[in-house]
Amino acid sequence: MKSKPQLFAIAACMIVLFDLAASFASRLLQFDYGRLSWITFCLYGFCGYLAFRYHGILGGFQAGLMAGLTDSTVGWTLSTAIHPYLRYPIPRLGIVAVSVTVVFVTFAGGFFGFTGAVIAKGTSLMREGEPGESIRSS
């Protein structure tokens, strides 16, 4: 069984690696970096899906929170340093706007992590009822 810190580290690494690759690809190939946000949401959900296996619904939510927090801090910092291609330039943000963004993205990560965990719960329930499998005794 993986510990929560291990799962959180895996989630954080996935997000940072995606942010690095996406930022460089956007800069080199001149496509709008903002168009990749849906992949980030899928990664949050995937983190929750993986975490469910070891730590249930709450673990999925927490893994999503960690992925969102990493994305909105480390990922954002790295992306800003790389200067990916953006269709519209983003003005310099003040501390309040940055703080609100970090909180919002962190909770968005938690939402998608929770959603991924719920999907994992649903698929695990469907597998339990497949024909030919022995029914577990409670």
Q: Residue 37 falls within a domain, yes or no? A: yes
What's the pTM? 0.84
Give residue for tokens 């480390």: 74
Q: Residue 136 falls within a domain, yes or no? A: no
What's the domain range around 52? 4-125
Identify the pLDDT of residue 70: 96
Q: Residue 13 falls within a domain, yes or no? A: yes
pLDDT digits (tens, 9 = 90+) for 12-62: 999 999 999 999 999 999 999 989 999 999 999 999 999 998 899 999 999
CA-wise closest residue to 23 among 84, 87, 73, 86: 84
Overall number of domains in the chain: 1
Q: Residue 134 falls within a domain, yes or no? A: no
Q: Residue 132 falls within a domain, yes or no? A: no
CA-wise closest residue to 15 among 79, 78, 82, 75: 75
